[in-house]
Structure 1
């Protein structure tokens, strides 16, 4: 019986060692296998903040552009094309005498045909061509008013002169020469008024003119 107990104890010890060895082998085997990396959840990244230079470029590109300055040399902001020249105008003259007036009247029309607005003010030069030579008109003394003649529109001034009531011969008028204000190029027109002027003593000039705008179509 003692031999059996020893043998049983030895078997128990051997069995225990064998079980321990098996457990160690299993542990070694498990350790030799690669260990999977733990899963990592990454939060979505926020968009990067714009750099200072980018923000500056955006602000610059969306800024409201400044207004365009008027062309140089145009004191009125480009609204007119300067002074009206003779070649800018169609000049005509018509009789506008009203019955009962002490003086007779011829109205001169200056129509802007330039295609742009232009300024025209002051007194024109007016010379009557007569049988006795050239007779220059004198200014009436009315105040000058600055004005702009729009494209296609007109301004007017009047020529006044006395009627020839002598019943005899007088100074025969053959034409009228008109030079616009601030111009040197004249235009010669047929004379639409009375055929003669009375002869005046002392050689004075009985013909007077008003400034631009001093007469109209109905005057």
Structure 2
């Protein structure tokens, strides 16, 4: 299945729904979730959907660097910085509150960030699309459709170097030095939760492989 074919499948589910529909699109960093989301909303009329991007619900790194988390992975104990691959890195209660507000027909004002100015989302729209890493750690029951993206280690680091260095101005040596930590935390905290998603899509090597579908 290609991405375009999958989008057609999701559009069919949207069009068949007689009520509002809530779509969760998540995945680890550089897995392809934003690319897919942009392609999907390109098929929708502006007045029919809300898009809530969840990066503003990630706790600022200036705060996270003051704490460390301990966990055991593959029999070894780690004490490490808290990355976005851990649920501790996210304002999950605030995110759940805003999702429930939209689902119940209430307008919300999104969090204002330098890269994402605050906007008003209309609670009366038929389609609510929620996109971002934070969504990984919320209950599946909040959503009608849950989609998760993933890729292998090599693909992730190549994408992160391209995006975070060329677009976000990041330090390539820092990105390389933290990659092993991120993948370890992804495998420990996130990978087991992929079973809770309706669709699991592997985008390694720029492929589009459906590993699970409802």
State TM-score, norm by structure 2: 0.21
The structure with the largest strand share of the pair is: 1
State TM-score, norm by structure 1: 0.21
The structure whose Rg is larger is 1
Identify the structure with bigger relative contact order (alpha carbons < 8 Å, sequence gap 6+): 2
The structure with the largest helix share of the pair is: 2
